[in-house]
Structure 1
Amino acid sequence: MRGSAVARGWREAAEEALYGPDGFFLRPEGPAGHFRTSVHASPLYADAVARLLCRVDAALGEPAELAFVDVGAGRGELTAGVLRALPPQVAPRARAYAVERAPRPVALDDPRITWTASVPHGVTGLLFANEWLDNVPLDIVEVDPAGVPRLVRVREDGTETLGPEPSRADADWLERWWPLPPEPGFRAELGGPRDAAWAAAVRSLERGLAVAVDYHHARVARPGFGTLTGFRDGRECRPVPDGSCDLTAHVALDACALPGAELLSQRAALGALGVFGGRPPLSLATTDPAAYVRALALAGEAAELTARGGLGDFGWLVQPVGVAARGLLVDVADDEEQ
């Protein structure tokens, strides 16, 4: 039942507001109509992911079918970009899966792309989730006047009230990953559903690499009042679960991490994949002015993707599955950081 008079947990409310029959992410304009991700910032991003897919291909021994699984695919922008960027020796073996609940866009006619509402199982290759986990709905707790964390209930108009204490499982997660001081008003987002969603996505791979990219925070520096917010028409707005806006919250990627995972910044990861924001040499302006202008434009795009205080601070959670991580990303990124 919907209506401003009905209060329910944020997880239930956000699930319907984002993915229900009139949900935000099922709108024709797609996410790109309301906010800009790394995918939309520059084709350099898809090029870098394609290079990572090629490294995974080599580590897997060049399988007959190489999967690229784009989780939270939006309207397929990253999927199509990665396929376009693959070299001739890899492209014929590639098969892409765009995982998204919205219908397949009419313009996305590449037969190598399978449009699906769920993550495929048993594939070999690269699973890549760009800004997916931040839209996996979760519940929120707030410390009441007695110092006790309680679930936050929300109506469709955004009005909040405090409800019961969280379940034992949620309380255990809170104690381990986001302990709150017993002071009224402190809030936390209960990340268990995201941990479970990421673990299920990783399990879907037979062999390969799983990567989650998102804005995040670590246990040593969790925000005191949570991170839930909304986005509409390119601007941040009050989070209201009525389907009119995106509902998003930073991800506790450290809690999502499984054994063997590595967490690094987007700046380091893209640097390891050849994306740098350095200015092209001025000598090029003399010898080839047109090439200099093109290189300058690409340098600007690379700078946006790797900027400190911006997209460069995004976290990359890197999880190898049945392959050695060396040479894929992490050790190369470590070298770039030195």
Structure 2
Amino acid sequence: MWLTWRAATQRALYGENGFYLRERPSAHFRTSVSAAASATVGTSAVLAGAVLRELAELAGPAGMIDLVDVGAGEGALAAGVLALAPQELRSRLRVTCVDVAPRPPDLPEEIGWELVVPEGVEGLVIANEWLDNVPLDVVEQTPDGPRLVMVDPSDGAERLGDAPEEADLAWLDRWWPLGPVGERAEIGRPRDEAWASVIVRLARGRAVAVDYAHRLGARPPYGSLAGYRGGAAVAPVPDGSCDITAHVALDACAAAGERVGAVTTTLTTQREALRALGVTGARPPLDLAGWDPVGYLRALSRASLEAELIDPHGLGAFGWLRQSRP
């Protein structure tokens, strides 16, 4: 049976007994959340502390404030932020995780668990490695123009199909123009729509998308489709046995957000975003080891985590898209 990559991935990840309905992400690949959650500093992971500072920028002197974690996985980020929040802010926090997977049994009771982003969010929405799992179609350039790449879900074999629909051709022309015969592109229009659906639910505050990304003029010539299973990269076979992912055209998502009401947009890297939020990776002074060896080891552990999160050749290369509504 031949399917488009979008249809095959949708079924493999989110269909009956799909990968994300039965698996926990931390068992298969390392993210900024799992890296930060693998060790703690006091009661909170490093990334949770940075997100809390982002959230604190938006909190007024009174009233409830939302934190919505989209593609929450096991809820580690939301739980970490809640644990770190000072009591005055914690009493005003309304925390919601959004994911298709079942609610983790050990998640704090005050954290909500929903299938979709709630309406009227006032605060911060963060989507960490969510957009890269929104299924999309793959096309290949031919002498007659772009053609959809069809895939056999049982083994990943491919063949060419029909031309994409007009809306997808227009997206390619604007955001991923194809070059010579044989080049491939991933049509990001479903991700634009997914991100726009977040922005329209934001009544006041900021939405942040964090993902491996590329920009116009520097797209990968043969795409970025990949698979992960058990902590290792594998062939992206859409049979439900592995994660299927592709990097995100965050610049296209940004334009989609602006079309539905975002009034400010910032595109940067995780390295720069986290450094601005106080994550520096700086090692503690060596003389601390002499009079507080336990504190020195704790600070050294934190510095190691911070360094991993802002490594320009690793997690620090993630794209950060921030958009706000007044």
TM class by shorter chain equals over 0.9
CA–CA distance in structure 2, aligned partners of residues 118 and 308 of structure 1: 32
3-state SS of paired residue (1:320): strand
Q: 2:10 matched to 1:15?
A: yes
| Separation in 2, partners of 1:8, 1:32 | 29
Q: How far, CA to CA, are the matches of 2:80 and 2:47 in structure 1? A: 9
* Among 122, 139, 149, the residue aligned to 2:120: 122
Whether the aligned pair in 2 keeps the contact of 1:72 and 1:130 (CA below 8 Å) is yes
Secondary structure of the corresponding residue to residue 217 of structure 2: helix
* 1:186 counterpart = 2:183: yes
Segments of structure 2 that go 5 or more residues without pairing to the other structure are 37-44, 259-263
Percent identity over the alignment is 55
Q: CA deviation at 1:63?
A: 4.5
State the aligned residue count.
Answer: 310
**Structure 1: any 5+ residue segments left out of the alignment?**
1-5, 323-338
TM-score by length of 2: 0.93
CA contact (8 A) 1:307 1:313 kept: yes
Q: Cα distance, 1:147 vs. partner? A: 4.9
Aligned to 1:31: 25
Which AA in structure 2 matches 1:180?
L
The equivalent residue for 1:69 is 68
Question: Residue 184 of structure 1 aligns to which amino acid in structure 2?
Answer: V
Corresponding letter in the other structure for 1:211? V
The answer on whether the counterparts of 1:147 and 1:184 sit within 8 Å (CA) in structure 2 is no
State how far apart, in whole Å, the 1-side matches of 2:109 and 2:33 are.
21
AA paired with 1:281? P
* 1:100–1:118 CA contact under 8 A, matched in 2: yes
- Structure 2 matches for 1:1-338, cutoff 5 A? 6-27=1-22, 29-42=23-36, 43-57=45-59, 61-108=60-107, 110-144=108-142, 146-156=143-153, 157-181=155-179, 183-257=180-254, 258-259=257-258, 260-322=264-326
Contact kept, 8 Å, 1:51 with 1:86, in 2: the verdict is no
Separation of aligned partners in 2, 1:235 and 1:321: 39
What SS is found at the alignment partner of 2:91?
Answer: helix
Contact between 1:212 and 1:316, CA under 8 Å: does it hold in 2?
A: yes
Provide the rounded CA distance (Å) in 2 between the counterparts of 1:187 and 1:63.
51
Paired residue type of 1:288: D
| 1:177-226 Cα shifts (integer Å, max 9, x gaps) | 10011x22200000000001001101101101000000001111111000
In the other structure, the counterpart of 1:334 is none
- 1:272 deviation in Å? 1.2
RMSD over aligned CA atoms reads 1.0
Deviation per CA, 1:127-176: give whole Å up to 9, x if none. Answer: 000000000000010012x2521001111121111001111110011011
1:38/1:311 contact within 8 Å kept:
yes
Counterpart residue type for residue 49 of structure 2: D
1:55-82 residue CA offsets vs partner (Å, 9 max, x unmatched): 111xxx2442211100000011111111
In 1: Cα distance, 2:62 partner to 2:109 partner: 19
Shift of 1:287: 2.4
Aligned residues of 1:94 and 1:112 also touching (Cα < 8 A): no
In 2: Cα distance, 1:129 partner to 1:149 partner:
31
1:217 counterpart SS class:
coil
TM-score (norm 1): 0.90
